[in-house]
Amino acid sequence: MPIDREIPYRDAIIEALAEEMRADSNVVVIGEDVGAAGGVFKQTEGLFKEFGAKRVIDTPISESGAFGMAVGAAMMGLRPVFEVMFGDFLTLVMDQLVNQAAKVHYMSAGRARVPLVLRTTMGLGGNLGPQHSQAFYAWAAHVPGLKVAIPATPGDAKGLFKAAIRDDNPIVIFEDRMLYTLLGEVPSGDHVVPLGKARIALAGRDITIIAFGRMVHRATAAAVELASNGIEAEVIDARCLTPLDRDTILESVRRTHRALVIDGAPRDYGVTGEIAATIGEEAFD
């Protein structure tokens, strides 16, 4: 698909939502301030005007109750995109997310499904305090039955959202709010990025750097600096934590024989350890 324009990360997500809502009347957006206000970060701007209050639904300040409603709606045939304003507030929906949404399909022997997207922000380095600046993606990735995506570019933001909305599983998408104004190439039309497929952001032969979200841009900047010293770093954007594209990561490390995994979230019991363990177990003798 030809790329003929650059748009901001935030606009790419809104475009994905609008396109999927036009294509499928079962797609609805639910959350606090997502309606006439257009979202606290203007991340749903324009949707209420086009689709109205029956499909862009403002909720009370009760994440647990509203998310329970979204899970039920998904089980009855809708495809909700539910917004948790700050990723820190996942604590308020974890019972419904972990014990209901992630398990219903398996507890019902496949008779029920929960085609739901939970979108939320993360604020590493955002300086909005201890309850608005965390990143809980390792927590979500630990839960069997959930898929977890972290788009790093506007193109992937659009493509991963479209793939997630069409998927029949519950999916959590973490958006780094410090990327909302980032400009990037986004194909026009039906641009879909498969869940579970990593992207080689920069090719190299001397070391593999695995990153996700905003850290992909940090890794690429580091690779450019390394290149000035004659070191070619290959940067892999994992895109999804579950399913994780182990094949792309391992193929790269087997070529470069060195690996660095970077993350802005706490190191202990985190995603970096899981990826490093996978490399240690499968890429070397």
Q: Which residues are marked as active site?
A: 132
**Strand partners of residue 184:** 7
Identity of the residue numbered 76: M
Q: Which two tokens stand for residue 163?
A: 């793939």
Gap between the Cα atoms of 16 and 247, Å rounded: 28
User: 230: burial class by Cβ within 10 Å (0-12, 13-18, 19+)?
Assistant: exposed
Half-sphere exposure of 9 (CA within 13 A, CB side): 19
Gap between the Cα atoms of 95 and 62, Å rounded: 13
Identity of the residue numbered 105: H
Contact 254, 160 (CB under 8 A): no
Which residue, among 283, 221, 229, 223, has the nearest Cα to 258 in the 3D structure? 283
